[in-house]
Chains A and B, each alone.
Chain A
Amino acid sequence: MAVVVTGLGATTPLGGDVRSTWEAALAGRSGVRTLENDWAERYGIPVSFAGQIAVSPEEVLKRPEIKRMDPSAQFAIIATREAWADAGSPEVDPERLGTVVSSGIGGVWTLLTAWDTVKERGAERVLPLTVPMLMPNSPTAYVELELGAKAGAHAPVSACASGAEAIGMAFEMIESGRADVVVAGGTEAAIHPLPISAFAAMQALSKRNDDPAGASRPYDTTRDGFVLGEGAGIVVLESEEHARARGAKIYARLTGLGLTSDAHHIAAPDPEGAGQQRAMRIAIERAGLTANDIVHVNAHATSTPAGDMVEARGIRSVMGAHADNVLLSATKSMTGHLLGGAGALESVFTILALHERTAPPTINVNSPDPELQVDLVRDTPRALPASGDLAAINNAFGFGGHNAALLFTTV
């Protein structure tokens, strides 16, 4: 059962929808700024910036929706409404419509705000909707409710691979015949003092406080960690048969999926990147292609000293000499790292790159790592081949040794 993409939605540090996000990305703009709060000073957090959402949900959602949903679910609903409208709000048998929307961390704002309430005002002041708001399946459940989806609502959790695994699971739901249409993606709203403190404690975050927009710099020799971002990316996946029957606009096909695990370390990537490479190889094989067919990779590349080159060497290893012809984009240089939203937003970027035959840029790379042996798209977008079928991979990896590779092709 061929699976196609018929709708896209996003709310990100670059814009409140797909169009504004994509245009900002093509223009090489950064969505990372100094936080307008006193967290760094008040709590002694060594990082004072992040990629906050460009358009606040307060401007988009109704007041009761804001009150009932954790920000992670709010972002997912905003992106879902856009994606669903973009897909033409299809008539689907509810029992053939599913949702797979993941978050890496869950309702951290709800959880920690409720704990503040317990400490400061007592257990009686804890709101009864706290549990349904903090549970990590809350975003997929709200999307399920929004669309009346009854084929199943899932939320695979694998840290920063969650959004990509969600799209992978949706792909398999359609391929296996469980559903005709699945709304899938990832969301994250973890720009809160605790996650920032905790990521900083593991030395994972960039501390470039004097240059927030320049802090996310994958593959640059001076990269010093990732930049926390927030937002959501959602795709509408559909069996090609279902999409053709209703005359839907089709952005791309999803034809390959590789999911592997490292069994190496709870947080560090396997330095050999064997699991990452295997994920890419499996995705290529499953799509019935060879490495030579890949023209573009949207890398996981978070701007950490260790992680970026493990992946880059892995791409070189999988693609061989053909890597010289693969246009590599690291869009986290502009958006920051959306954690569980990352693999989904970057799938949206990968799909648009194929659809518009344009690879988005990687910004802030002033001195590329000398070991980098893939053709990095720097500062301005580059054209993908103007004709012929194209294939592109989106990688997403997560703490715990989770590796996901999604392979999309032009239609």
Chain B
Amino acid sequence: MALSEQDILAGLAEIVAEETGIDAGDVQLDKSFTDDLDIDSLSMMTIVTLAEEKFDVRIPDEEVKNLVTVGDAVSYIAKAQA
């Protein structure tokens, strides 16, 4: 069963917090991974790899550059799940 966007956000926030130490509460839809959360490209790739596994989706490498905000990632995962 596909998860709600809220569940995806919560799951993604958990991964970000675990990998970077950023408070899960700061991982909000309108936050930019690089500008707001200061996540470097290697950490981003790690988060993507873990998210693929957690949500059982495929996020191609060329898509990752389009995932600017947390909301972009949540929408992508939601669509990929459907």
Contact = CB atoms under 8 A, between A and B. Distances in A.
A246 interface: no
Interface of A: 62-64, 67-68, 121, 124-129, 132
B27 to A, nearest CB: 14
Task: Determine chain B's interface SS by DSSP, over half rule.
Answer: helix
B19 interface: yes
B21 A127 contact: no
A125 B21 contact: no
B49 A127 contact: yes
Interface in B13-59: 17-21, 42-43, 45-46, 49-50, 52-53
B20 A129 contact: no
Contacts of A63: 17-18, 21
A64 B21 contact: yes
A62 B53 CA distance: 23
A124 B19 contact: no
A67 B18 contact: yes
B52 A124 contact: yes
B21 A128 contact: no
B11 to A, nearest CB: 16
* Top 5 A-B pairs, shortest CB-CB distance: A128-B45, A64-B21, A128-B42, A128-B46, A127-B46
Given A67-B19, A129-B43, A132-B42, 18 more contacts: A62-B21, A63-B18, A63-B21, A64-B18, A64-B20, A68-B19, A124-B49, A124-B52, A125-B49, A125-B52, A126-B49, A127-B46, A127-B49, A128-B42, A128-B45, A128-B46, A129-B42, A129-B46
A124 B60 CA distance: 10
Contacts of A67: 18-19
Contacts of B46: 127-129
A385 B52 CA distance: 64
Contacts of B52: 124-125
Contacts of B42: 128-129, 132
Contact of A64 (B19, B49, B50, B53): B19
- Could you say which of B45, B46, B53 has the most chain A C-beta atoms within 10 Å of its C-beta? B46
Nearest to A64: B21
A55 B4 CA distance: 41
A64 B21 CA distance: 6
B60 to A, nearest CB: 10
- Could you say which of B18, B45, B49 has the most chain A C-beta atoms within 10 Å of its C-beta? B49
Nearest to A62: B21
Contacts of A62: 21
Contacts of A125: 49, 52-53
Contacts of A127: 46, 49-50
Nearest to A68: B19
Nearest to A67: B19
